[in-house]
Structure 1
């Protein structure tokens, strides 16, 4: 697996599939027990379809920003609590180093 394949797979799983899950959960009247989900679903259903779309776009933005920050930490362009720790993410299948440009690859995909 190379870096592009890794970022593509992570983006698909975390962001794309995650967004589908949020949309399904917010737009579905299935029983929810978590108070935050109940309140969020009530808020979501009170919005116009345009505002619902805006809210979902914002959720996606938060997901992209969060994943971008994690990739930045792995790449070495961001730090954990100002700790300047270097990381190396290696593909077990071929020993290829994946990190270095993960954040850039993700942000290019999102443009």
Structure 2
């Protein structure tokens, strides 16, 4: 795994997963009007009715989905996971270097090495 790939997967984890999870937590803890009927408001209301352990579990589930989505997307763009019913192949270059078949494994490896895998 190259140093650029290391830096990239760490930055994606911090940006997408850590910052995203923080934004979800803030959103789910904001006060809402009980008259709001949109799905986000309903989800926030449901979250706020949960006890602390249930809220922790819900945030964990959101984190798992985020991590799995990033890993799968990396697999699609690095060539380790094909797109359904598509012959299209993507290439990601980091400072001009091909990441062929590295991103998904590097991302999962980083999470495992740092004990971050949810």
Distance change (3 Å), C-alpha of 1:78 and 1:43:
same
Aligned match of 1:38: 41
Aligned residues: CA RMSD: 2.0
Compared with structure 1, are the counterparts of its residues 38 and 67 closer, same or farther at alpha carbon in structure 2 (3 Å cutoff)? Answer: same
- Cα distance in 1, alignment partners of residues 96 and 76 from structure 2: 20
Shift of 1:28: 1.7
Shift of the 34–75 alpha-carbon distance from structure 1 to 2, 3 Å rule, reads farther
Q: Deviations over 1:31-75 (max 9, x none)?
A: 7x6711110111001111011000000000001111111001112
Alpha-carbon contact 1:69-1:103 (below 8 Å) kept: yes
Of structures 1 and 2, the one scoring higher in RCO (CA 8 A, sep 6+) is 1
Q: How many residues align?
A: 108
Q: How does 1:1-111 map to 2 (within 5 A)?
A: 2-29=4-31, 35-91=38-94, 94-111=95-112
- TM-score normalized with structure 2 length: 0.81
For residue 25 of structure 2, give the secondary structure of its aligned residue in structure 1.
Answer: helix
